[in-house]
Amino acid sequence: MKAKLTFLTFLVVSFCSYGQSFRAMFLNPNVYRTKIDLQAIRLCDNDLNIIYNDTFTIKVSVFEHLDYKIINEDQNGFIVIRILPSVKIVNETSPTDPTKNINVVRYSNKVLSNTDPNNAYNYYFAIKKDGLNPLGKTLLSTKIIGVPLIQPFKLRPSKGDEGWNLSSAFTISYNFGIRLKLGSNPFSKNYLSIVPYGFGLGAEKYFNVGIDGKPSEKVDAFALTYYQGGLVLTNQNINLGIFTGFDAMLDKQNDWFYQGKQWFSLGIGYKFNKD
């Protein structure tokens, strides 16, 4: 199960790692996607050594989108951004006036060095917040995430004389995975996340079985979830997941009856933070 989830995650990452997508997936939060051309002002280089005040059109022509990271939103109504690689600065003939040239940022199919003056990633740009169309700031379709969840119970398969056990173990877990957008609507917040690894801590009942085959008295204890994996469905801000994993107790309780044995569970959570 571990290997299958890990392989599936790497397969999705490999499929998405073209253009800007791979960089965008790992630069969250504050990474967004524009599906329309944007008007921007170039502010300065990334070392803050040279100040500019020239205007640019950020064009999305090649993949019909470009990804950018929001650096800051100031009190004057501007959003300061860096456009993610690979993007270039070019001077082109204006589509509305052939007698004029305009500054353009667009996708580059060549890798540009950090010292190349035409590498648009080397600069900070500003766009006017009140002039930003909703299609100019949409959520990414693919993103690396961390998700906190509560798991109110665990279903443990039968072992020895113990049948299938549905325990009221209350576990708090944190899970890492890749989030995939469901559907093509840029305004929806429905996602499926593949989680190859998570960990947690929960309340359990400790007991073991002696050489006489009889279980000992059950006492309250903590169990460490050292591995879990699964799938999480996100609808707006609600997270609901299915998981399988393994628990262990430590020190003198490391002979727990369910030590290192597989379980199945549901996870629920609420997404408070903004993308």
Which segments of the chain have a pLDDT < 70? 1-29, 273-275
- pLDDT for residue 27: 47
Same domain? 211 vs 263? yes
- pLDDT for residue 1: 58
In a domain, 19, yes or no: no
In a domain, 16, yes or no: no
Angstrom CA distances, 94 to 52, 99, 104, 117, 119, stand at 21, 8, 10, 22, 21
Q: Convert the pLDDT of each residue in 200-219 to its tens digit.
A: 999 999 999 887 778 889 89
CA 231, CA 240: separation in Å to the nearest integer? 8
Same domain? 223 vs 262? yes
Same domain? 45 vs 111? yes
Same domain? 122 vs 146? no
Same domain? 167 vs 113? no
In 3D space, the residue among 29, 30, 99, 92 whose CA is nearest the CA of residue 59 turns out to be 92
- Name every residue whose Cβ is closer than 8 Å to that of residue 274 and which is 6 or more positions away in sequence: 29
- pLDDT for residue 31: 86
Q: Which domain holds residue 47?
A: 29-136
- pLDDT for residue 248: 96
Same domain? 162 vs 227? yes
- pLDDT for residue 9: 54
- pLDDT for residue 162: 72
Please state the φ and ψ torsions of residue 43, each to the nearest 5 degrees: -90, -55
CA angle 260–266–272, rounded 5-degree value:
115
Q: Which of 85, 107, 136 is the last residue of a domain?
A: 136
Of all helices (H) and strands (E), which one includes residue 246? strand 238-248
In a domain, 4, yes or no: no
In a domain, 15, yes or no: no
In a domain, 22, yes or no: no
Same domain? 249 vs 146? yes
CA 28, CA 30: separation in Å to the nearest integer? 6
Same domain? 159 vs 184? yes
- pLDDT for residue 17: 47
Same domain? 60 vs 161? no
Same domain? 115 vs 150? no
- Can you read off the two tokens belonging to residue 189? 């917040």
- pLDDT for residue 185: 85
In a domain, 11, yes or no: no
Same domain? 81 vs 171? no
Q: Mark out the alpha helices in the chain (DSSP H runs).
A: 2-16, 21-26
Domain count along the chain? 2
- Name every residue whose Cβ is closer than 8 Å to that of residue 271 and which is 6 or more positions away in sequence: 147, 234, 237, 238, 239
Q: Which of 70, 101, 136 is the last residue of a domain?
A: 136
In a domain, 3, yes or no: no
Q: Which of 110, 136, 162 is the last residue of a domain?
A: 136
Q: Judge contact between 231 and 242, C-beta under 8 A.
A: yes
Same domain? 130 vs 185? no
In a domain, 226, yes or no: yes
Q: Judge contact between 31 and 68, C-beta under 8 A.
A: yes
